[in-house]
Amino acid sequence: MVNEILHTSLSLRNIKFLFANPSLFSVTLTSLGNLETIKKKWLEIRLKKARQLYDKFKDILVDESKLFQVLEEITQSMPNKNINPHLAYHLCLYVLVRVTKPESIIETGVAGGDSSALILQALHDNKKGKLYSIDLPYAHFINSKGEEKKWDVPPEDIGRVVPDSLRDRWELILGDSNEELPKLLTNLGKIDFFHHDDEEIRMKWQFDLVFPHINKGGILSSDDVNLNDSFESFCKSHNFPYVELWRNSRQSWGVTRIK
């Protein structure tokens, strides 16, 4: 039975990923491959690393013009990028929130809640701010390549990795962002930070919708910006500075600041 559990756990994740993260490999063995225990440990590792990085760069980041430079340095310094494609991404999100100290953040796309947890930890450490997250259970859609995609995530699994201790600054909205995002923006009026992690075909629509609601100096960021030119076109059309950060050889995300 033990061997079956371990085999199942290891087959769900690339074994190289575990070897690249010895603490996780150890937990996999000692927890008999319990996935929830492994996920909790992986989150703890990222939160600890994120705080260390912020402490390392916070004196430099007093000059916020250095923000993009620091994000690039963090991204380039991460080892095993093809094995840990989300690590620098999550760490940079934490640093972004710590530096800009937003009062209100909206993100579209949650899934298990890894990004949400790093954002919420940053809000907690800032002692201010609230995150509003929108995601649709059992989402089915056609991507920009005309391919049908199905995310069979039930409501109870959306944001499942977010600890109870961080949920006091979080409002999770279960529904289609096409319907929920306009309503949320109307209710909030102005926001300080928008993060797109939704379907890539919705990038342009969401950027154009959210832009008038973002306060001057606020942040707009998006995952998967290499999949189309929506992010680059948005930034260039408004003459906003931006940075594209490559998580691995196939995936990138972008950050811009509203002037």
Residue 152 exposure: Cα atoms within 13 Å on the Cβ side: 0
Give the H or E element holding residue 218. strand 214-223
Instruction: Tell me if 128 sits within 8 A of 80, measured CB to CB.
Output: no
Quote the tokens at residue 137. Answer: 């259970």
- Residue 197's SS3 state is coil
Query: Rounded to whole angstroms, how far apart are CA atoms 81 and 62?
Result: 28
pLDDT of residue 29: 54
Q: What are phi and psi of 149, to 5 degrees?
A: -120, 140
Q: Name the CATH topology of 48-257.
A: Rossmann fold (3.40.50)
Q: Give the residues across from 221 on adjacent strands.
A: 195, 255
pTM of the prediction? 0.87
Query: Rounded to whole angstroms, how far apart are CA atoms 44 and 65?
Result: 30
**Where are the domains positioned within the chain?**
1-33, 48-257
Distances (CA, A) of 29 to 17, 22, 75: 14, 11, 30
Of residues 27, 57, 32, the one with CA closest to residue 44:
27
Query: Rounded to whole angstroms, how far apart are CA atoms 38 and 116?
Result: 18
pLDDT of residue 33: 57
For 165, residues 6+ apart whose C-beta sits below 8 A from its C-beta are 124
pLDDT of residue 178: 94
Q: What is the pLDDT along the chain (259 residues), one digit of tens a residue?
A: 333 333 444 444 455 555 556 665 565 555 555 677 778 888 888 999 999 999 999 999 999 999 999 999 999 998 767 667 789 999 999 999 999 999 999 999 999 999 999 999 999 999 999 999 999 988 776 666 677 777 778 899 999 999 999 999 999 999 999 999 999 999 999 999 999 999 888 999 999 999 999 999 999 999 999 999 999 999 999 999 999 999 888 899 999 999 9
pLDDT of residue 18: 53
- Residue 139's SS3 state is strand
